[in-house]
Chain A
Amino acid sequence: MTAEKKTEKDFLGRGSRGHRKTLLSARAAGMLAAVLALAAVPVPAVCSGNMALTASAASGSEVVQTSSGTADKTKASDGGAGSGQASAGTEKVTLRIANWEEYIDEGDWDEEEAIDLDDENSTVILGENSMIEDFENWYLENYGVEVNVEYSTFGSNEDLYNQLTLGNDFDLVCPSEYMFMKLIAENRLQPLSDSFFDEDTEFNYYVRGVSDYIRNIYDSNTINGEPWSRYAAGYMWGTTGIVYNPEEISEEEASHWAILADPKYKGQVTIKDNVRDSYFAALGILNEEELLDPEILNAQDRLERITETMNRTDEETVAAAEEILKQMKENAYSFESDSGKADMVTGKVLANYQWSGDAVYTLDQAEIDDYYLAYAVPEESTNIWFDGWVMLKDGIAGDAAKQQAAEAFINFMSRPDNVVRNMYYIGYTSVIAGGDSDIIYAYADWCYGAEEDAEDTIEYPVGFFFSGDNTDSDYVITAEADQVNRQLFAQYPPQDVLERAVVMQYFDQENNQRINQMWVNVRCFNLASLSWQDWAKIGAGVVVVLAAVVLFLKRDDILRKR
């Protein structure tokens, strides 16, 4: 990686990528100027043009240049390349996709943003069109079927669920793991077809490229005896942890959930405004002693045991967590779902409960202003999360052509060059390791590899993810030393973090109700929490108001006497 590249990336801030809107509004706030804020609202540009890949492209990828727009149907089906897959007729397919906001490459990169991976094939990656447009063209070219993608976004898993309950709106959605677990349990998902898992099919990028580490998790986690992987194909993944300012907070302090309730940092930490993440942190504090017990730390089945601990939902645990969350509420700067990143970057808070992808974004943003933050994953346990593609039974409704398009979309998103585009644009870590393609590792190296003349460097193994073997010397990034608790650490956590990375199960109806009631208890104003001083103040206020009213009503008498 050359110096120019790094500066360029830092400056453009696309390293973090995706969240540009948030960033701009945060900056504008700093300027205190509504006018500036207005001027800073980005205008999303829709660009038309050709395929993203400019140079000789991914190994084994069949990049085709298509003229965008409407090729007529007959020509399309004639010209379909021999994909080996049955084309489901010439009917136009409509695919309704819902994804998180800002969670896909929307294209329109500047020329200077082209990622020159500098690998053997000197791959250059540039997001010219939106990913959706590229998919439509690619599908037409390779499957000979015109597909029309209706792409929408959602802001939370719960929003998505409510929308799914209200109507049959989508065919393919990308919720987090607990939500697709819930959907599997409710029998609302369409299983992936057998052909999707055929490694010999040219376009099956997902099954060939997905990291063994992730594949194993998707295979071994089950709902009613069925593995996730029967229904879900991964998209992005990460951990949860603490972004902190290393000048004020030591790494040791940031590496325990207890920092979120530590009176020493009153008003200096933010927590997540959603019940699952906050409950997880509360469990981490509640069970700290147990989780850090040397006996458990050294146990062979440590991960299984802490998974059990961190998934407790019995009444006693929930009640204890409620007390901890109340302390956290008293102690926190804010419960946030988005504002925390800006508050961290502007220095309003010292520590911040974050998902790893957003942590990378926060660190990148702070770096632009020469402000260096770090990311820590609590020693007790971290919640490993996944966003995955699942097809809805109601949406697909047995339509083979639609299912083929949906699965092709997943594969297209898993094509190594597209993976890099998405990762670059949104800043999260893809579940795809690349399989026979080295592009994704090259990209990780491009992002985090140290300059040749850098002095203080470390060898950072990422083999667990790319080849399934952490000692694999082919997958060791020589990074600058501070990356060990910064972006690289957040994007590709080391093995010891993964040994305490717990999958948090979805809550069934009963537990959901109990835990949400607990959350409402935490957030609501409780009359019993008022002290007698508070009551006295309220009483005084009421007396003053009553006096004013009486004065007003009796004003005639009073004035007359004068």
Chain B
Amino acid sequence: MMKNIRFSRKQLCIPYALFLICFVVLPLAVIVYYAFSDGSGRFTLANLLNFFTNGNTIGTLCYSLVIAAVVTLVCLLVAYPVAYVLARSSLKRGPVILMLFILPMWINFTLRVTALKEILTVLEGNLSLHPFLNTVIAMTYDYLPFMILPLYTTLLQLDESLLEAAADLGAGPAAVFSRVTLPLSMPGIISGITMTFLPAMTNYVILDMIYNSTYIMGSLIGSYFNIYDWNNGSMISLILFGVICIVTLITGRGDQNNAENRGAIL
């Protein structure tokens, strides 16, 4: 009987493959089609040229990248010490404190940003005076848990004896940190960066809610679809997709290198 209901590996993958085809591959194909055609369906490269010859789209790309980079950097600088303390110190209540950092994730982010908006209004008086700063604060607030969690997990797995060995061999605390802890926590840093940087580039809802009236990539794409210009909208989506692929590749390579490093150390 048991034999009859066994599935091969291939069969087990079918549901996911179907999902992938329906909701990833096909839509992507449609986007590619629109990106390289004009209103009447003829092949054209005009949309691509449009993107790179237009100061607006380039400016928006830069603006998005800068926001994403600043948010990621701030998240990293805030999250690393926290994760380090939580993971390395012998705090009895470590997991509880960690929970406190993760807790906001249980609440829908629009509610969180709405609340944050009120706090910022109290602090700044008028939200419209510092749109960039507010965006960075709101996004940092939103993505911090995504940075803390991977860092915490990696730091928790760090073998205490490695640190002791380094200290025994004469390394000062700074050297122990920079030559053992930091390299070994690289996988956590990289997955943290991936999880913050990519959504930060496109999450225009936060910008809208916090009254930053400058477009980022997400809102720029939306604006083209709003005016029924699906071709240019698709092209910008495709370019954004390309940018994301590049970022993932770079971080992925870093991850691999690091895996080798770790092997060398161990």
Contact = CB atoms under 8 A, between A and B. Distances in A.
Interface of A: 25, 28-30, 32-34, 37-38, 156, 158, 161-162, 165, 267-268, 273, 275, 329, 332-336, 339, 348, 512-513, 516, 519-521, 523-528, 538, 545, 552, 555-556, 559
A32 B220 contact: no
A275 B224 CA distance: 12
Contacts of A32: 115, 118-119
A332 B213 contact: yes
Contacts of A165: 228
Contacts of B227: 158, 275, 512-513, 516
A37 B215 CA distance: 28
A146 B19 CA distance: 39
B211 A158 contact: no
B179 A555 contact: yes
Nearest to A25: B114
A25 B227 CA distance: 29
Given A37-B111, A348-B121, A524 B225 contact: no
A555 B62 contact: no
A29 B228 CA distance: 34
Contact of B179 (A33, A519, A556): A556
B56 interface: yes
B225 A162 contact: yes
A267 B126 contact: yes
Contacts of B182: 552
Interface in B83-101: none
Given A332-B128, A334-B213, A524-B214, A34 B178 contact: no
A528 B55 contact: yes
Contacts of A335: 211, 213
B214 A38 contact: no
B59 interface: yes
B128 A333 contact: yes
Interface string B215-240: 10001100111111100000000000
- Specify which of A38, A524, A545 lies most central, judged by the most chain B CB atoms within 10 Å of its CB: A524
B126 A29 contact: no
B214 A545 contact: no
B81 to A, nearest CB: 15
A34 B228 CA distance: 36
Interface of B: 55-60, 62-63, 66, 73, 107, 111-112, 114-115, 117-119, 121, 126-129, 172, 174-175, 178-179, 182, 208-209, 211, 213-215, 219-220, 223-229
A194 B147 CA distance: 66
A158 B59 contact: no
Contacts, number: 105
B211 A334 contact: yes
A527 B214 CA distance: 12
A176 to B, nearest CB: 14
A188 to B, nearest CB: 14
A526 to B, nearest CB: 5
Given A158-B226, A521-B56, A555-B178, A333 B211 contact: yes
B59 A524 contact: yes
Nearest to B122: A32
B220 A520 contact: yes
Most buried by A among B59, B66, B179, B224: B59
A478 to B, nearest CB: 41
30 contacts: A25-B114, A28-B114, A29-B115, A29-B118, A32-B115, A32-B118, A34-B112, A37-B111, A37-B115, A38-B107, A158-B227, A161-B228, A267-B128, A267-B129, A273-B208, A273-B213, A329-B213, A332-B213, A333-B128, A334-B213, A339-B209, A520-B215, A523-B213, A523-B219, A524-B214, A524-B220, A525-B56, A527-B59, A555-B179, A556-B179
Contacts of B126: 267-268, 333, 348
A520 B219 CA distance: 10
Nearest to A529: B59
B220 A29 contact: no
Q: 6 closest A-B pairs (Cβ-Cβ)? A: A524-B56, A525-B63, A334-B211, A267-B128, A516-B227, A525-B59
Given A334-B213, A556-B179, A519 B63 contact: no
Contacts of B128: 267, 332-334
B174 A559 contact: yes
Nearest to B216: A525
Contact of A525 (B60, B111, B224): B60
Contact of A527 (B58, B115, B178, B211): B58
Given A33-B115, A523-B214, A526-B56, A559 B175 contact: yes
A382 B40 CA distance: 37
Contacts of A267: 126, 128-129
Nearest to B125: A267
A273 B226 CA distance: 12
Nearest to B117: A29
Contacts of A526: 55-56, 59
A264 to B, nearest CB: 14
Nearest to B225: A162
A527 B213 contact: no
Contacts of B229: 513, 516
A293 to B, nearest CB: 33
A322 to B, nearest CB: 12
Contacts of A523: 213-215, 219, 223
B57, B114, B209, B219, most chain A CB atoms within 10 A: B114
Which residue of A332, A348, A528 has the most chain B CB atoms within 10 A of its CB atom?
A348
Contacts of A161: 228
Contact of B111 (A34, A273, A555): A34
Contact of B114 (A29, A275, A556): A29
Most buried by B among A273, A512, A516, A525: A525
A527 B63 CA distance: 9
A521 B59 CA distance: 10
Given A158-B227, A334-B211, A520 B127 contact: no
A525 B179 contact: no
Contact of B178 (A30, A333, A513, A559): A559
Contact of A524 (B60, B114, B119): B60
Contacts of A527: 55, 58-59, 62
